[in-house]
Structure 1
């Protein structure tokens, strides 16, 4: 009998190790959390300045911002105060999300959010965000398959979540960042809309858009093309853990088009609202879904620095992070808050599902402070 017990215990430990689930893998029983689904949404390279201060008026011109229709841009997004202006660009973020959730990163209110990696560009940022720690070896955007297991891959190994984790992104590199081959995750990225709409006519239309539209960027599809693919998949398959990555805010900044950057940022806000409303209309998501929204890196400042990012552009390390859901206190725009890092997102995502990511990945940063309800936060490592 003792031998059988030893064998059973050994088998259980081996299986737990293979799944990447430690004995401390549970923070709290899921029944104590309302969140059953988590969505991480990223808009690439969107500065904290636009999010908190609204449009930069010194860039709303042709000379410094490449603006083609100045009067229309100012009519659409310029208001008397920065608070009013930011609401015109991000109405859902500031009228709903921030009031009912939390948002970190307004440096003018002593809330600092930064990347922990030394590079301040995309692949290192996404790796830090979803693996939970910066990797100095991940030092270029064409790095290839990510050697680090991400929180998405880790969650997908847990039986209750297996096959319920999905990744969507405009950038083709997400296939490597999430290591599609090793992780086995469902990934739709770049100009490859592999998700299938329930309607054949709708699917044919989406595929036609992808195949016939003139491409501005070979490795990055338009945000508007990604959105219906995401919505169709959510309605058909109801994933419990979802990543959505939009790219136009970064692309238009690199192109020196401040007007199109603002419009892409405004459209991003609409996409987040549309996805939220869609999920709240479904019983499996309503009142049990948390959104985390953020960016992978910041940018430089001034009349030219806003176009680029990286070690040579001061301020590129500064980001912003928002969380909105049933287990997050409505603290709103954080002020005089502890400094946070991009690396804390991975453990936060897992903790919202009642899982202790750091129990298996001790190098990962701890969850964001005061984001997971206090009844569970004391047990999160």
Structure 2
């Protein structure tokens, strides 16, 4: 009997170790979104029309920080990680001046519908037509991953906007979501306790959106402790600064977000769990206008704003061909979810995610 017990115990241990080894071998994905960032800002750098408009309050400072001798230099000054790292080691899609177009398929052209499209691979204009805090009836790729054997308990989401628990449907999906001004929970380290303490002591500009630096560090602490396989991080400041017409802060926030993503990438490249086995997929939930007229107003987006359907996409990782800035193509935002599913080898319902994955090679 003792021999049988030992055999059973050994089998269980071997099965556990095999499962753990398989889980660690499978790739990791960091899906990252920047709210309401235009393709123009990513690919051409600072908008000189907006720089010279009433939206700018300190023109000289912006010129010193973001204006070089060419558009190529401008975009490197604004987003150095994108153009010094991703452009060399990965792919950038969405420069419409080079015939690379990335578009939304939903017709709402604002945040909740955009995030639903990114996370589920399908627009749902019938049911998702507001930013109200309604639990999403659609199943996101985060929920699909968390329900799978390989990724159960290895999925997490961090967001600046407090609507994300509803978008991800944390109650049904079981995916841990830290969003808005939610505190970190569980067995906390000293840094997490400190973040809990200070996130509401810092200036509260918007009650529904916390500063991205807190979202970033809550995410990074969790990642270091738990090593999730699929992480979703939704930075939010850029859209809110743009809505307020604060072009100075929009530019600074975009540069800061680029630096936060660079910080995550550097961590990943120095962590044995993630190194050489992790993909970053970065995009936005919608575009916005490029002018001052109501039909194309930079501060706005939505179905009545020209250009709000135009997005962009950046990818870097071990299985990604180094194409850099891609030209002459048509991609859609609904391809993000099936692409993540393909990387993670997740089984999805084809009727729920009809879009084709991106060709990464």
Give the TM-score, by structure 1 length: 0.85
Given that residues 91 and 322 in structure 2 are in contact (C-alpha distance below 8 angstroms), is that contact kept between their aligned partners in structure 1? Answer: yes
Measure how far apart 1:189 and its partner are.
Answer: 0.4
Give the stretch that moved more between structures: 214-223 or 173-182: 214-223
Distance 1:325 1:82 in 2: 26
| Aligned equivalent of 2:170, options 180, 184, 189 | 180
Partner of 2:199: 210
Measure how far apart 1:149 and its partner are.
Answer: 0.6
Given that residues 58 and 303 in structure 1 are in contact (C-alpha distance below 8 angstroms), is that contact kept between their aligned partners in structure 2? Answer: no
| Aligned equivalent of 1:334, options 326, 329, 337 | 326
RMSD value, Cα: 1.8
Give the stretch that moved more between structures: 52-61 or 243-252: 52-61
For residues 246-261 of structure 1, the aligned pairs below 5 Å read 246-261=235-250
Given that residues 35 and 327 in structure 1 are in contact (C-alpha distance below 8 angstroms), is that contact kept between their aligned partners in structure 2? Answer: no
Partner of 1:364: 353
Query: Which whole-Å deviations, capped at 9, do the CAs of 1:97-149 have from their partners, x for residues lacking one?
Result: 12111111111110110100011000000001101100012000005000001
* Count of residues in Structure 1 that have an aligned counterpart in Structure 2: 336
Query: Which whole-Å deviations, capped at 9, do the CAs of 1:150-196 have from their partners, x for residues lacking one?
Result: 11100111111100000000000000000011111011000013256
Distance 2:317 2:26 in 1: 7
Given that residues 101 and 322 in structure 1 are in contact (C-alpha distance below 8 angstroms), is that contact kept between their aligned partners in structure 2? Answer: yes
The alpha-carbon distance between structure 1 residues 91 and 147, as it changes in their structure 2 partners (threshold 3 A), is: same
Distance 1:78 1:34 in 2: 44
Measure how far apart 1:197 and its partner are.
Answer: 7.7
Distance 1:177 1:59 in 2: 32
SS in 2 for 1:52: helix
Given that residues 29 and 229 in structure 2 are in contact (C-alpha distance below 8 angstroms), is that contact kept between their aligned partners in structure 1? Answer: yes
Give the TM-score, by structure 2 length: 0.89
Partner of 2:82: 93
Given that residues 102 and 333 in structure 1 are in contact (C-alpha distance below 8 angstroms), is that contact kept between their aligned partners in structure 2? Answer: yes
Partner of 1:306: 298
Q: Which runs of 5+ in 1 are unaligned?
A: 1-29, 374-381
Distance 1:207 1:34 in 2: 33
SS in 1 for 2:54: helix
Partner of 2:57: 68
Query: Which whole-Å deviations, capped at 9, do the CAs of 1:78-97 have from their partners, x for residues lacking one?
Result: 11111110000110001101
